[in-house]
Every structure is written in structure tokens, then in C-alpha cells.
């Protein structure tokens, strides 16, 4: 039971190398996955052309992920996750591809927006796979209906539920084609909040009919499409 419960735990750690205690837990099958943040990346500041830019050591990242890819005694692999959405939320930056925010798809009409979303998901997934990742905490399934929302903004795929769902699920198909597990977020819908959930518990006060039509619709679509996470 301890090992089975451990497989449900996806954990982070504060360093650029694998802590021995975490390595032991991974080898014992008592941790299901790890997630990498900026704190785990080896980053230098490049001042080329007079512009400062953070540059990630991709070789160090590949080596870190190789060290994290362990298997439990029963052969269950330990997975590695990352938040790589595009725009402001992408942990792996230059020299990896710098992706625009997903609201950039608003500049295209259907079906071109959907086709492009899937192509972006595939390209991003190919890059993540080459770096050794298994899971991307994307796509955003929130509908950006509140301009004052302090945390979603242009991370969302659109301001209308049907459009946001269609583009986000196309993006997820692209990740899947690259061998990356997509994870839709943030259930049950973060698009109309007035607070940042990293700081306090947001609240949305709408009736059930509105919640089904807007906030919950992309997640219903994702469930129907078989999005596994």
C-alpha cells in the first residue's frame, strides 16, 4: 500500500541535481513523478547584442532528466513533468524555442487556428521529448472571460468556451503525437477569477447553467476526447 500511494505523489525538489533521498524513493517506487521548475535548471545570463537574456544549459537538463528516469522494482517508470505552455509560463527557455502565448491563436479563424494549435503542440512536444520529459502541464482549458483576471490572461486559448476547448484539445493531440502526456488545467475553471490561486483560494459566483456553458465545457470536451490527465 505504501508503494501504491507513493505512485500518486508527484514531487518537486530544490536543486539542479537529484537529491539522494529522492533517488532512493524513485528506485523504491514510492514516488510516481517529479516536476521541474526554474530552480532545477542551470541558467546563465547572456548579454549578446546588448540585450540580457536567460540561457538554459540544455545539456545539463538532459543529464538531470536522465538521472530522474528510474524505475520501480516492478518496472513502473518514474515520469518527469514540466509547465511548458508558451508565453509567460515556459520553464525551458532559450536556446529552446520561445513560444508565444496561446491567445495568439485568436488571430486565426477556424479551421486554421485548430490546425496551427495541433502543429504547435507537436513541435513543443517533440522538443520536450528530446529533452527527456514525459508530461506537460498543458493545455490551459480555462476560458478567459474576465479581463481583470490576474493569472490567466493570454495563457488561455480564447475567450469563448467552444473556441478555447477546440484549440486546446488540438494542442493536446499534438503533444500526444510527440509522446508527451498532456494535462488539461485548471479544473473546474480559473478564467473568471479575480484572485491568483497561488496566493489565495479563488471563488467564482455563477449559477450552474453558466458554469456548464462556460467554465466546465472545455473539461467536458476534454473528458469526452479521452484526455488522460
Per-residue pLDDT, 77: 93
Residue-wise pLDDT for 188-212, tens only, equals: 999 999 998 999 999 999 999 999 9
Q: Is the pLDDT of residue 51 over 80?
A: no
Confidence of residue 52 (pLDDT cuts 50, 70, 90): confident
Q: Is the pLDDT of residue 222 over 90?
A: yes
CATH number for 83-229 (one of 3.20.20.300, 2.40.30.10, 3.30.420.10, 3.40.605.10): it is 3.20.20.300
CB 126 within 8 A of CB 84: no
Confidence of residue 139 (pLDDT cuts 50, 70, 90): very high
CB 204 within 8 A of CB 189: yes
* Global pTM value: 0.94
Per-residue pLDDT, 4: 86
CB 116 within 8 A of CB 105: yes
Residues of the chain with CATH 3.20.20.300: 83-229
* CA dist., res. 224 & res. 127, Å (int): 27
Q: Is the pLDDT of residue 47 over 80?
A: no
How is residue 61 annotated by DSSP?
H
Confidence of residue 1 (pLDDT cuts 50, 70, 90): confident
Helix (H) or strand (E) holding 122: helix 112-131
State the cell numbers at 32. Answer: 510516481
Q: Is the pLDDT of residue 177 over 80?
A: yes
Amino acid at each position: 500500500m505504501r508503494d501504491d500511494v507513493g505512485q500518486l505523489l508527484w514531487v518537486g525538489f530544490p536543486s539542479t541535481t537529484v537529491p539522494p533521498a529522492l533517488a532512493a524513493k524513485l528506485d523504491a517506487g514510492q514516488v510516481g513523478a517529479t516536476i521541474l521548475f526554474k530552480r532545477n535548471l542551470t541558467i546563465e545570463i547572456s548579454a549578446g547584442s546588448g540585450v540580457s537574456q536567460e540561457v538554459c544549459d540544455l545539456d545539463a537538463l538532459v543529464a538531470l532528466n536522465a538521472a530522474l528516469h528510474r524505475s520501480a522494482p516492478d518496472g513502473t517508470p518514474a515520469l518527469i513533468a514540466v509547465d511548458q505552455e508558451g508565453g509567460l509560463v515556459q520553464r525551458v527557455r532559450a536556446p529552446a524555442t520561445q513560444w508565444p502565448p496561446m491567445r495568439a491563436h485568436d488571430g486565426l479563424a477556424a479551421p486554421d487556428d485548430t490546425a496551427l494549435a495541433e502543429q504547435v503542440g507537436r513541435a513543443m512536444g517533440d522538443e520536450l521529448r528530446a529533452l527527456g520529459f514525459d508530461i506537460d502541464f498543458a493545455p490551459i482549458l480555462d476560458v478567459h472571460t474576465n479581463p481583470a483576471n490576474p493569472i490567466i490572461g493570454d495563457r488561455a486559448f480564447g475567450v469563448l468556451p467552444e473556441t478555447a476547448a477546440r484549440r486546446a484539445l488540438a494542442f493536446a493531440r499534438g503533444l500526444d503525437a510527440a509522446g508527451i502526456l498532456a494535462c488539461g488545467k485548471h479544473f473546474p475553471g480559473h478564467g473568471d477569477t479575480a484572485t491568483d490561486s497561488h496566493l489565495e483560494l479563488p471563488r467564482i459566483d455563477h449559477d450552474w447553467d453558466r458554469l456548464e456553458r462556460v467554465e466546465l465545457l472545455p473539461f467536458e470536451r476534454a473528458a469526452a476526447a479521452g484526455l488522460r490527465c
